[in-house]
Amino acid sequence: MLFGRTTLSKFVIEHTRGQHSDMGALLIDVAAAVKGISALVGKGALSGFSGSAATTNVQGEEQKKIDVLANEAILRHCEWGGQLAGMASEEMDEPCPIPESYPRGRYLLVFDPLDGSSNSDVNVSVGTIFSILQRPQAGDATLADFLRPGAEQVAAGYAIYGPATMLVLSVRTGTHAFTLDRESGNFILTHPDIRVPEATREFAINTSNERFWEPPVQRYVAECKAGKTGVRGADFNMRWIASMVAEVHRILMRGGIFMYPKDSKDPSKPGRLRLLYEANPMAMLIEQAGGAASTGRERILDVAPEALHQRVPVILGSREEVERLERYHQEFDAGTDRPYASPLFAERSLFRD
């Protein structure tokens, strides 16, 4: 029975009273867009929108037809309500202004309309990621308004389109998950106040890039793979889905660590994932659930953005493992992770055997 259970609408009204009371309506509009995208994704090839759109986005990545449709769904559902000053998306080169016919608000919506869309053709879970920032007052947003550290987010969330559609949300009062009841059309609170276990024995990383990783990450993964016979003294499991939403959702549900670290594969890109609409919202959700999120060298939510589509390394999940990787980066940068070598006592010294 669903009677008496907390719906998303009830939750956001209760949790955004006061300073952010008008943000509740925006979140409900986002949820409406998510329902539409969920229905589209759920049809798979039957929708007629599978395959490539024969276009690329600003990052030079091939767009799927469903990427374009998901982007359009969010724009059309959220532009009219009067809460927004502007929007920005992975699929658009520049911020999207609010049409002249609609009122302006003080919020900024930044989103990845369909994360992991390359998996959609093979029926693997994909999702939508979003972040909400705030201007001092209502009006038209400028690019500078979007370039704010993740610590200034007032809300963040993602939807995952899997066997069930779920919406995971934080309005800075913890991290909470809602499951879509397809009969009533309501998102129902099913996972209140999620907590990420501090310790884990599960890690997620694309090991095909191992030769490009920095030594701290190579060291960490080697220790995990060594299992009980290694310095960690425990066996680890490895996972990799190639969908950030699916990886983070697993971590929120049962713990773990997700890594898309800095590497040397493409020196022009300091990381793979976008700061504003991938790393920042996920970092907020993980931190609000008691986990940690880092670039390896600093807290993700403290990174000062310099560009709309800026990329960063991402390491997030169970706090103990994230802190261990941060320590490995510190030791590498300081040179203390390498054996001490002295010219005087090297192989050709006076003390040679």
What pLDDT sits at residue 269?
87
**Does the pLDDT of residue 353 top 70, yes or no?**
no
Is the same domain home to 132 and 53? yes
pLDDT digits (tens, 9 = 90+) for 268-313: 888 999 999 999 999 999 999 999 999 999 999 999 999 999 999 9
pLDDT digits (tens, 9 = 90+) for 150-181: 999 999 999 999 999 999 999 999 999 999 99
Helix 244-254 crosses helix 280-288 at what angle (to 10 degrees)?
A: 10
**Does the pLDDT of residue 267 top 80, yes or no?**
yes
Residue 92: count of CB within 10 angstroms of its CB: 16
Q: What is the per-residue DSSP string for 33-95?
A: HHHHHHHHHHHGGGGS--SEEEEE-TTSPEEEHHHHHHHHHHHHHHSSSS-EEEEEETT-SSP
Domain count, the chain: 2
**What is this structure's pTM?**
0.92
Contact 325, 315 (CB under 8 A): yes
**SS3 state of residue 193:** coil
Is the same domain home to 162 and 224? no
Say if 353 falls within a structural domain.
no
Is the same domain home to 183 and 312? no
CA separation for the pair 239, 307 (Å, rounded): 31
What pLDDT sits at residue 338?
77
Q: Edge-to-edge, what's the strand order for the sheet holding 176-181? A: 84-89, 107-115, 126-134, 155-161, 165-170, 176-181, 186-191
Is the same domain home to 59 and 147? yes
Domain enclosing residue 317, as ranges: 202-334
CATH number at residue 76: 3.30.540.10
